[in-house]
């Protein structure tokens, strides 16, 4: 019996692949056999080097996803460099913090444009390719969006981030409904409180850090590496009948 988690011969786009969650997911996919297109504003040189050390092909695709201008090029460049596209992981995202009464239009638009608008249009570009290939020669596509605990909860002082991640949950379900019969699964991973650049401010606030840790049954902040297994699962044949699901990887936070 072949390994249902084997991603050998497949190609994955991972956005925001230079550090943190994106890097960990890219390397987990590479360890499972996938070649990697590492997408982001900052060249993911370390990620590419580590993926190649695992025996995979890996290429940098430079793109600023604060606008949708580079979206089609990301897909086209990936196929040109690596020969195909099977998996898309929409990880790139930003966060802005301020009281809602003081929140600016600039901070609202910046977060929504990166975290939601560009995600949809990258799903669209990848989905068109995956659906056309499925209709022509069979095969499947896998799209994995990165959601958040704030897909389920409100949070505080991050109105545009909460709106964007709530939107990711809805978008994931909508695309799953439209594309399930066309060979493409669309799911999301909702990380809990993970030690990354986005959570530096929370971890630096002693009171907030303590209250968060007290709520997490696992008793610790998550590591970016904790997301890798979930990504491999959702990208693999093992998850072929999993669609429209938002998988929480949160140390038990939502169960509290």
- Which residues are the active-site residues? 161
Question: Can you say whether residue 16 is alpha, beta or left, with left for phi > 0 and alpha for psi between -120 and 50 degrees?
Answer: left
User: % helix / strand / coil in the chain, to the nearest 5?
Assistant: 50, 15, 35
C-alpha span between 192 and 43 (Å, rounded): 26
Tell me the sheet residues that pair with 190.
Answer: 248
Can you spell out the DSSP letters for 37-55? EEEESS--HHHHHHHHHTT
**Best CA proximity match to 48, nearest among 85, 83, 68, 22:** 22
How many CA atoms are closer than 13 Å to the CA of 63, on its beta-carbon side?
31
How many CA atoms are closer than 13 Å to the CA of 58, on its beta-carbon side?
28
211: helix, strand or coil: helix
C-alpha span between 198 and 234 (Å, rounded): 24
**Contact at 8 Å (CB) between 241 and 187?**
no
């Amino acid at each position: 019996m072949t390994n249902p988690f084997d991603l050998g011969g497949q190609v994955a786009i991972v956005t925001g692949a230079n550090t943190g969650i994106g890097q960990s997911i890219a390397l987990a996919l590479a360890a499972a056999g996938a070649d990697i297109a590492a997408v982001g504003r900052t060249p993911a040189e370390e990620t590419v080097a580590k993926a190649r050390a695992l025996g995979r092909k890996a290429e940098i695709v430079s793109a600023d996803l604060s606008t949708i201008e580079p979206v089609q090029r990301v897909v086209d460049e990936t196929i040109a460099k690596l020969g195909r596209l099977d998996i898309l992981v929409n990880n790139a995202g930003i966060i802005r913090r301020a009281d809602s009464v003081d929140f600016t239009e600039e901070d609202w638009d910046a977060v929504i444009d990166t975290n939601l608008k560009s995600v949809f249009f990258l799903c669209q570009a990848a989905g068109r390719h995956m659906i056309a290939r499925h209709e022509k020669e069979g095969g499947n596509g896998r799209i994995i969006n990165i959601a958040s605990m704030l897909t389920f909860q409100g949070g505080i002082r991050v109105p545009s981030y909460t709106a964007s991640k709530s939107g990711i949950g809805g978008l994931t379900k909508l695309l799953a409904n439209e594309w399930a019969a066309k060979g493409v699964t669309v799911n999301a991973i909702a990380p809990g409180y993970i030690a990354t650049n986005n959570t530096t401010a929370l971890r630096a606030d002693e009171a907030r850090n303590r209250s968060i840790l007290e709520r997490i049954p696992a008793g610790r902040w998550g590591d970016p590496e904790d997301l890798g297994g979930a990504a491999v699962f959702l990208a693999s044949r093992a998850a072929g009948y999993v669609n429209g699901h938002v998988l929480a990887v949160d140390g038990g936070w939502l169960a509290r």
